[in-house]
Structure 1
Amino acid sequence: MKTMVLCRSKATAVNRRSRFRDWLPVCLCAGISCFATATSADPGGAVVEQDHQVASIHYPSTEGGEERAVGGSSLRPTIHLTAPEDAFVQDVSIRVLRKAYDRLGYELVVHKLPNLRSLISANNGTYDGEVSRVANLGSIYPNLHTVPTAINAVNVVAVGQQGTAEIRKVEDIRDDPLCVRGVVIVEHLVNAHRIKCMFVVNINQALAMVSLGRAKYTLLPDINARISVLHSPFTNVEVVSPVLHSEALYHYLHKKNLRLVEPLDKVLSEMRSTGEIDEIRSDYFNSIPGRRGTGLEDNDRF
């Protein structure tokens, strides 16, 4: 009897493992299917509450400072910021803030979102702030507070088909240009000059429409335009103007983080006065393949 019970027990154990092996591929496939569905969804169509699921870039400490830890886990606080996706000008700002926050003892996580949703998500407190934008956004986004020291600069240029007449100044644009929705500096520029702008969702869409002749020009931040053109599949587009307009960029924090504005501004002011911010910009431009001849070498300082 003991032998029979033992055998039956072993058989039961084997059958359980067998059933587990049978179901494991199904569970894995289901998980992969769900992951593929989530990652292939249009980020612009998702609700703000789903922003926490957006892939982020985590920047570790750059100063090599010792972090307090208990049981191997760090007690170093984390700041979560938003930034527009495909906005290369923000990469400079991220490098500056990475060093500044590190000196205050914070880790930095940056969430890349569609342009307009990036601002909305920062303003409603889903995140701690926005990496960098032009000045005076308080009237539109009242919960975002400016850190006074400029950390970067953005220049606006025109992009058109190769051979298109070069634009020397904003007033030369007589055809309705394309503008990427949420690029505040471009929106301010066209409004100030009473230029009617056709809005698109992102830079790739703008370049595609110019390449196909559906629009003559698009107005874009300089770094974004030149790097996008450099890597674009649309080989018949190029920058067709000098800098048409320039503005400084500032870091914004949500009102829940007002305690950080003063100490962070002190660090950024020191970085600005010592030339460290200019050095970060210069290093970034030097790291871009094919940089010479693109005009990027003229923008190392601001």
Structure 2
Amino acid sequence: MKLFAVLLLFIGNSFAEEFHFSSINFLTEQEVGRIVLPQIYSELGIVISITPLPAQRAQLSATSGVSDGEIMRIFSYGIENPTTIRVPTPYYYLETTAFVHKDKDIVIENKDHLEKYFVAKVRGVKHTNRITEGHSQVIDMNSTIEIMRMVDSGRVDVALTNTIDGLMALKELGLKNVIAIKKPLATFDLYHYIHLDHKHLVPIVDAKIIEMTKNGKLTKIVNAAEQKTLLSKYQTNE
């Protein structure tokens, strides 16, 4: 508690400033983050705004300092982008899952099995980039909707995305022939990234995430955000 108080005093009047972050558009986990992260900052008395962008534009905005960072990315993002600082404690997670046509004889039990198939993924998304690194039969598309349509039409064998994101896309499209494999290929913690210009925020935000994790408040906020995101998608497509 003493450290937290000292840090607050150190920042001083900078909390009066509003911070602006980027997110990746059209991804369910990012929509959850757009609800959760402002509430974490609100606990600190800080107002933030978030602009959804295509993944590569979100990254460029954050790393160049046009925005003050990104709301959530996997661990390796911080290694690849040294102008941003990773808030050490994750506040969400994602699963990398393969989606296939149910009538095709496709067996994927681990990431190495992907090499046998033609894979579609969303352009610029780090977790699917990592899992397909070195694979020759990979195509990038602009959205999860597009990659699911590619599988349904037989133009690719596999669509790779976050589990919940893929399931929501299938719901939106009303597709019955595309299914998720039983076991995710990987699970990644998701971290908030802040541009170097605002590195003073990192320990403050991290301390708040730890506090909210321990007292159970973060879990409640995440659960409510997931429900709100899913309900919003259902209502949009009814």
> Structure 1 length as normaliser, TM-score?
0.66
Query: Does 2:126 match 1:180?
Result: no
Q: Provide the secondary structure at the position in 2 that maps to 1:98.
A: helix
Deviation for aligned residue 1:275: 2.2
Amino acid at match of 1:188: R
Query: Where do residues 192-271 of structure 1 align in structure 2 (5 Å cutoff)?
Result: 194-196=134-136, 197-271=138-212
2:219 maps to which residue?
278
Q: Which runs of 5+ in 2 are unaligned?
A: 1-14, 234-238
> Are 1:167 and 1:241, in contact at CA under 8 Å, matched by a contact in 2?
no
* 2:95 counterpart (138, 155, 158): 155
Count matched residues.
Answer: 215
* Percent pairwise identity: 23
Larger radius of gyration: 1
Query: Where do residues 1-302 of structure 1 align in structure 2 (5 Å cutoff)?
Result: 76-164=16-104, 165=106, 167-173=108-114, 174-191=116-133, 194-196=134-136, 197-287=138-228, 288-289=230-231
Deviation for aligned residue 1:96: 2.6
> Are 2:78 and 2:193, in contact at CA under 8 Å, matched by a contact in 1?
no
Amino acid at match of 1:118: A
Deviation for aligned residue 1:280: 2.4
Q: Structure 2 CA distance, aligned partners of 1:233 and 1:85?
A: 21
Deviation for aligned residue 1:166: 5.2
Find runs of 4+ consecutive structure 1 residues off by over 6 angstroms. Answer: none
> Are 1:180 and 1:200, in contact at CA under 8 Å, matched by a contact in 2?
yes
Q: Structure 2 CA distance, aligned partners of 1:136 and 1:235?
A: 34
Q: Structure 2 CA distance, aligned partners of 1:160 and 1:205?
A: 14
Q: Which runs of 5+ in 1 are unaligned?
A: 1-74, 292-302
> Structure 2 length as normaliser, TM-score?
0.82
Deviation string 1:84-114 (CA, Å, 9 cap, x unpaired) is 0011101232333111211222212110101
Aligned CA RMSD, in angstroms, stands at 2.2
Q: Work out which structure has the larger RCO, using CA pairs closer than 8 Å and 6 or more positions apart in sequence.
A: 2
Deviation string 1:19-48 (CA, Å, 9 cap, x unpaired) is xxxxxxxxxxxxxxxxxxxxxxxxxxxxxx
Q: Structure 1 CA distance, aligned partners of 2:225 and 2:183?
A: 21
Q: Provide the secondary structure at the position in 1 that maps to 2:70.
A: strand
Q: Provide the secondary structure at the position in 1 that maps to 2:95.
A: strand
Q: Provide the secondary structure at the position in 1 that maps to 2:76.
A: coil
